[in-house]
Amino acid sequence: MTEFDKEYLKLLKEILQRGEEVENRTGVNTIKIDKYAFKFDLTKEFPILMTKQLFSRQAITEMLWIWQMASNDVRELHKRNVHIWDEWMVDEDGIYRIYEPDGTCEYNPDKEVTVYDPLSTPISDPLAKMNKLSPKLDENGKIMTAKSKIEGKTIKAAKYYGKEYAYTIGTAYGYIVDRYKFTDELIWTIKNSPTDRRMVYSLWQNEFLRTAVLPSCVWSTEWNVYKGTLNLQVHQRSCDVPLGLPFNVTQYATLLSMIAQVTNLNPGFVSYSINEPHIYVNQIDGIKEQLRRGRTYESFSRMTPTKLEQLKIELENKLLTIEDKESKEYIVTDSDIRIIDIILNPVKPELWIDTELKIIDMLLYPTKPILELDKSICEFKDFDNSKDIKHVKIKNYKHMGKLPFKVTQ
């Protein structure tokens, strides 16, 4: 496992052990702690999770969409076969639809909701809840309504942002980068005034919060140059740990490496501070399975190569007996492994075997993931942002397989 895996699993354990369960705007409760911080040295390791598969192409594409293309247009992601922002996209009519969380109600395609105006509250209350907003009137003075546009999802609420924001996420992320030319300013400052202590770039701009579908979670970056290395401090106001954090850490480690290359510096530290790291209660099963993977890795790592090879043979021959399907306890015939609790529900023996074989392979043939950038690229704008991101490769990346986590709007 990477150092990021260890820090990440430690954070998950802390949330489960001392977290507070609270209600929130989504309708799905979260379990949260107050804050968390960590730091990674990019000279030693590239931070990417191995306890679950990280789709690095999507993560890096999203980062380039924000910081290089400086875009809020979701269609640019669609061109690159990335769909992680689809549920937050304003539609062609200027309406943003919020849907009921999966599994919380029966599908009702005929449900109709009032469309509210996010600009109807005073500046002093930019993040007002729906019950404080005024209904949006159409050109005939009639209250606008909306139905679901996604098959299988029931609409919960709707806001009107205007047709000028159609197919975008409103005034968030790349919109702010573009408006203030953050990337250009950052690179110019590093090249021309590397000792500047004001290389701080905030995506949290109050005047644009009401027209941002989702105000930036990673809201601030601070940069500094020290002894020929470029370092980055990332601040996050809120963090969906299972879904968002793996993407964010890999994204900003890649961004730091790219900016370092085009400013003739070496990438140094990525430091992270998170306010209210949380998990959703519908993610707990997946989290426990990921923690189980971490425990299994640690257990297997204490075995000799000979014992690992023997266990590999036993697993490949499916020498796995199920003692009690209901209790989800599986016994491996190797003497060093007694009973392993499978918490992901439901779990099939073949899924378990596949994961353990991946772990054994990591231990028998250890490698460290490496970020490899095309050294011929001298300008940040020249890094390929097509769906192939051909100037970026993550080599030697091994993982323990996919883990599905639900997305909550």
Q: How far apart are CA 67 and CA 48, in angstroms?
A: 20
Q: Which positions ≥6 away from 81 have C-beta within 8 Å?
A: 387
Q: How far apart are CA 41 and CA 7, in angstroms?
A: 13
Residues of the chain by 3-state class (helix, strand, coil), percent to 5 = 35, 25, 45
Burial grade of 284 (CB within 10 A; 0-12, 13-18, 19 or more): middle
Q: Which positions ≥6 away from 69 have C-beta within 8 Å?
A: 76, 174, 385
Q: How far apart are CA 90 and CA 77, in angstroms?
A: 14
Q: Which positions ≥6 away from 136 have C-beta within 8 Å?
A: 115, 116, 117, 120, 143, 144, 159, 160
Is residue 217 flagged as an active site residue?
yes
- Identified catalytic residue from 105, 217, 239, 378: 217
Under 8 Å between Cβ of 156 and 165: no
C-alpha triplet 116, 120, 126: angle, nearest 5°: 105
Burial grade of 313 (CB within 10 A; 0-12, 13-18, 19 or more): exposed
**Neighbour count for residue 251 (Cβ, 10 Å):** 22
Fill in the amino acid letter for 380.
F
155-160 and 145-146 as β-strands: parallel, antiparallel, unpaired?
A: unpaired
Could you tell me which of 403, 383, 401 has the C-alpha nearest to residue 393? 383
Active site residues: 217
